[in-house]
Amino acid sequence: MQRRKFVEMGAVCALALTAALPARAEAERPILVAASFDAMAELVKAVGGSLVRVETLIPPGAEPHDFTPTVKTTQLLRAASVLVVNGFGMEPWAKKIAAAAENPRLMLVTASEGAVPVKNSDPDEIAEHGADDPHLWLSLSGAEIEARNIAEALAKADPKNAEAYRMQFTLFKGKLHVLKTQYSARFRNVKRRFFVTGHAAFAYLCRDFNLEQKSVEGVFAEGEPTPKRLAELAIELKKAGVRTVFAEKLLSPAVSKTLAQEAGARVETIYTMESAEDGKNYLERMRSNLEKIESALDE
């Protein structure tokens, strides 16, 4: 009898719990955050965790530098609480598309706000994307600024979880600092200060560590290089002892491959985080980039 009562009580408790669940789930449903491209989505996940659901506006595999918003973009922004963009000329369409969504709740956040920009030097690049180099997210100090701005925006959009966002930011910042300290020491004793890459996306990373990027894209801004110019560059790289040429997934690595072949170097993938890559999160890709850059500088 006694035992049966317990079972019944258990059943009643379970029922009470089930009844309480919908209200609880309602109260803790993650907020919908739209992020312009993959790196922004990754930084939102880093400080938002399970409190947010992130959707990327630029579809996987699409080139974020040349993206044009679609009807789908507007639909997503109608439902979102926050839109996170990088800024520095990366998403010139952001304000317009946010307004077109006619969503009074939607908060537009420019993650790079407060950062000191690296200026573009290439005239074509300036004409196309504006005065500032947009690739702030590929540096550890840049990511810290962006993650802080995102955490503050999430705290505003979802005030009951404000402390959780700030705490997750502090944890993330700690991890960025560990990497920065580690690599500041490692990069001090490498053989050379520059590395060769396809897309010139690493100016901020170079600023952090006093390094230099030489980009294939920068040398060959005007279409395909002539065989003569390619041969000259290959000789330069050989003389400098360069054994690695980095290539990105999204941009055609064909020229990087040819150059590497001529210079007797190998092609190594580097992450730009402009689209999802290998199922890896922000820190995993950052660690991989730093590791590969270190070996390239020291071989």
For residue 157, state whether it binds Zn ion (rule: CB under 5 A): no
Token pair 């999160």: residue:
281
What would the two tokens of residue 67 be?
């993206």
- Binding residues with Zn ion: total (CB under 5 A): 1
Closer residue to Zn ion (CB): 201 or 259: 201
Closer residue to Zn ion (CB): 37 or 172: 37
Question: Could you give the maximum distance between any two Cα atoms of the chain, in Å?
Answer: 95
What is the closest distance, in whole angstroms, from the C-beta atom of residue 152 to Zn ion in the complex?
A: 25
What is the closest distance, in whole angstroms, from the C-beta atom of residue 287 to Zn ion in the complex?
A: 20
Stretch that binds Zn ion, among 30-38, 39-47, 164-172, 195-203 (CB under 5 A): 195-203
For residue 136, state whether it binds Zn ion (rule: CB under 5 A): no
Stretch that binds Zn ion, among 16-24, 94-102, 154-162, 194-202 (CB under 5 A): 194-202
For residue 205, state whether it binds Zn ion (rule: CB under 5 A): no
What is the closest distance, in whole angstroms, from the C-beta atom of residue 286 to Zn ion in the complex?
A: 16
For residue 251, state whether it binds Zn ion (rule: CB under 5 A): no
What is the closest distance, in whole angstroms, from the C-beta atom of residue 110 to Zn ion in the complex?
A: 17
For residue 270, state whether it binds Zn ion (rule: CB under 5 A): no
Cα angle 296, 198, 84 (rounded to 5 degrees) comes to 105
What is the closest distance, in whole angstroms, from the C-beta atom of residue 62 to Zn ion in the complex?
A: 13
For residue 216, state whether it binds Zn ion (rule: CB under 5 A): no
Among 201, 230, 259, 263, binds Zn ion (CB under 5 A): 201
Q: How far apart are CA 43 and CA 263, in angstroms?
A: 37
Residues in contact with Zn ion by the rule CB under 5 A:
201
